[in-house]
Chains A and B, each alone.
Chain A
């Protein structure tokens, strides 16, 4: 029961920190708790939140994906370019091609990592440069306008007054928390991250599981890209710059260990919310974007430091 106890306390302290931030910002800005701001905050975190949920599984498996931002940019450009043709394909097909873009990048990442046994950081760093570069080449470094009903609905529509991106985020979180915490596949992900040799000797198809994870991560990044196109009505190669950092920060903040085998979806949700509240609160309190980046960097380091200190204490007791 001890493990479960720890899980709860870790997440509790994260949510307590979140509550603290909310209280602070409700004093520093009168608009913070307004319904408009809350909705826009939640909508804004949804798109990176989806990628963060999937990345949680990758980091638990002791991998990493930093090509997320590049895939987002490439997806927006692919979609907008296809739509801007004089005789465009049907929108559903364009969206499928957009999703396939991410899936394909994920497949290639997974192939390099499992078959060629390449390091995940380096592999996806390469993929990040390639996808971003491709986005610039395809778009000729231009922004491509895309006013289109379906993407507009995905990003700005509501169901029962709830914006669709938030619904997508919640559905993703729900599905993946079941997969990670309740399913056989989730158990395999933890086993691989905790001890790959033992997992493989236990009959787990390590390569297959990893491959699936990277494909899912690519897919999630493409979904984020589609949401972004709808929100901005434009596909451009700069979309998603820095998103990988944001997403990795959120996941680590949520208590997932870079060393693998540990982490929860609830933790990541807390991490995403903390990051979102902090950015939103600081922004409407008048802090400039350039300063926000510093906060983000500090938060990332603090997340990792907290984890290290906690593990050291666990070893000591």
Chain B
């Protein structure tokens, strides 16, 4: 066995009212990928924060290279060779790639003591070459894709000679292709003897790249298993503490007349001649890799992106959707891609979020009638099984799954006839996922037309009645349910 790089032993951490981490011990060997899985609120992120020095543990010990270390600040963590790549990347977007990689330690000319840009660029190129990346050191980070930003973070970690690299949901915002490249990078790091802690909800991925899997639930460590001996169903049932019959519910509904007809939609340089129909009670999947334009189709349908050409008919009536307000007026509900920045107002209470799209309905005068507001909020908390102490708490204190249910409830309150949903289950736990699928099924039965934009291949194949594959701004192919498997879908999406 290789040497133990990191050992976290009997770690405990409490917040007022919650035991976030309860006697958790993990170890990590050199050249190993340890996958950590668990539902939201299981304690994965807290554990990482303790390791990163962003939070202080209550008790327990941390050993690095078998030496006890005191990690009481992010700086101490970094000095001990730990590098954390957070889900919300913390790159400095207005600076260049080289400046990001060398943050705080740019090489200086020995005589003038000024920054030696040539050396910085040369070294950056070297580090990036290790990662098989051809990002230019001079590029401004803001112009990079999410994947490239991640590579910059990894390069930063390598430059700092990190021994332990933690990745928190690294593929959440990546296309399949970029995810694959990232896995190669991880493989590469492994070979150099770096230990990697890989946190993800995507079970397929974790099985593909990890050597061992640790499952956490309710702040406790449930089990650590060799990946090759583990089974997916077993891991999932450990995560949720109950047996899961199937990944996806079979969504059955009766499809009636055409609800929405889109013809020759164009956004110059982004999408081209997009035409499709959605029937009442149907789920139409739109699949494409990042940058394919499928996100822009969704945004055009809800009035965020302006269209240059094309027509949208709703219930046979031509409709111009200039802004989200008009979309809502036409009974188009939506779940935007970014839960925290677009879907929710984090400082608002559960109640205020749930009623934000339907403010006008909160009483007949200009005053908000609190009784109406409370009953709307209570209704959705119950209907969607939102786990919250009460309807007055700020939504930022809730888990991702519960937050996403609030985004859904908020838009269902307007009684949508059409629902445009983008990545509805990204980064949320299995239990909440099932609840959301169930709700979608009910909506279909009620005759709502659903347009689902998702990069989650199994999800889109399982719950859509039809899938449109988009690449380079055009619709390439249409698959009916059961016609395509994952490989075929990805193949079509990667064609230009």
Contact = CB atoms under 8 A, between A and B. Distances in A.
**Interaction A to B:** yes
Contact of A201 (B16, B329, B342, B359): B342
B241 to A, nearest CB: 29
B362 A201 contact: no
Contacts, number: 80
A194 B336 contact: no
Interface in A162-190: 178, 182-185, 187-188, 190
Contacts of A200: 323-324
A200 B328 CA distance: 11
Contacts of A262: 347
Nearest to A192: B345
Contact of B341 (A3, A185, A195, A205): A195
A218 to B, nearest CB: 22
B201 interface: no
B345 A203 contact: no
A202 B394 contact: no
B359 A190 contact: no
B369 to A, nearest CB: 9
Contact of A317 (B16, B342, B360): B16
A97 interface: no
Across chains A and B, which 8 residue pairs bring their CB atoms closest together, nearest first?
Answer: A203-B325, A203-B328, A202-B356, A195-B345, A194-B347, A202-B357, A194-B345, A184-B359
A204 B344 contact: no
Nearest to A200: B324
Contact of A178 (B325, B363, B367): B367
Interface of A: 1-4, 178, 182-185, 187-188, 190-191, 194-195, 197-205, 261-262, 317
B349 A3 contact: yes
Contacts of B363: 184
Contact of A198 (B328, B341, B367, B394): B341
A261 B342 CA distance: 16
A183 B368 CA distance: 5
Contact of B366 (A4, A184, A198, A204): A184
B345 A191 contact: yes
Interface of B: 16, 302, 304, 323-325, 327-329, 334, 336, 341-349, 352, 356-357, 359-360, 362-363, 366-368, 390, 392-394, 410
B348 A183 contact: no
A187 B368 contact: yes
Contacts of A190: 348
Contacts of B348: 190-191, 194
B298 to A, nearest CB: 12
A201 B344 contact: no
Contacts of B357: 202-203
A201 B336 contact: yes
A98 B324 CA distance: 38
A206 to B, nearest CB: 10
B362 A184 contact: yes
The interface centre, meaning the residue of B302, B325, B362 with most chain A CB atoms within 10 A of its CB, is B325
6 contacts: A3-B349, A184-B368, A187-B356, A188-B359, A200-B324, A201-B304
Nearest to B363: A184
B336 A187 contact: no
Nearest to B366: A183
Nearest to B334: A201
Nearest to B356: A202
Contacts of A187: 352, 356, 359, 368
The interface centre, meaning the residue of A178, A198, A200, A201 with most chain B CB atoms within 10 A of its CB, is A201
A317 B368 CA distance: 32
A245 to B, nearest CB: 28
B392 A194 contact: no
A203 B332 CA distance: 11
B393 A2 contact: yes
A190 B356 CA distance: 11
A182 B367 contact: yes
A202 B345 CA distance: 10
Nearest to A257: B347
B341 A202 contact: no
Given A3-B392, A3-B394, A191-B356, A197 B349 contact: no
Contacts of A195: 341, 344-347
Contacts of B349: 3
B367 A204 contact: no
Given A187-B352, A188-B359, A195-B341, A201 B367 contact: no
Given A3-B349, A187-B359, A205-B325, A198 B368 contact: no
A204 B368 contact: no
Contact of B346 (A194, A199, A202): A194
B325 A204 contact: yes
Nearest to A201: B324
A205 B341 CA distance: 18
B430 to A, nearest CB: 26
Given A1-B392, A183-B366, A188-B359, A198 B324 contact: no
Nearest to B369: A182
Contacts of B334: 201
B204 to A, nearest CB: 31
Contact of A199 (B345, B366, B392, B410): B345
B370 to A, nearest CB: 9
Contacts of A197: 341-342
A201 B392 CA distance: 22
A205 B303 CA distance: 13
Contact of A202 (B362, B393, B410): B410
Contacts of B347: 194-195, 261-262
B396 to A, nearest CB: 11
The interface centre, meaning the residue of B342, B347, B360, B366 with most chain A CB atoms within 10 A of its CB, is B347
A134 to B, nearest CB: 35
B367 A183 contact: yes
A198 B392 contact: no
A57 B302 CA distance: 29
Nearest to B324: A201
A204 B345 CA distance: 13
Nearest to A198: B345
A201 B344 CA distance: 10
Contacts of B366: 183-185
A203 B392 contact: no
A198 to B, nearest CB: 5
Contacts of B16: 317
Contacts of A4: 392
Contacts of B393: 2
A201 B334 CA distance: 9
Given A202-B359, A202-B410, A203-B328, 19 more contacts: A3-B349, A3-B392, A182-B368, A183-B367, A184-B363, A184-B367, A184-B368, A187-B352, A190-B348, A191-B345, A194-B348, A195-B347, A198-B341, A201-B304, A201-B334, A202-B357, A203-B324, A205-B325, A317-B16
B343 A198 contact: yes
A190 B390 CA distance: 21
A1 B390 contact: yes
A307 to B, nearest CB: 14
Nearest to B390: A1
Contacts of B359: 184, 187-188, 202, 204
B25 to A, nearest CB: 27
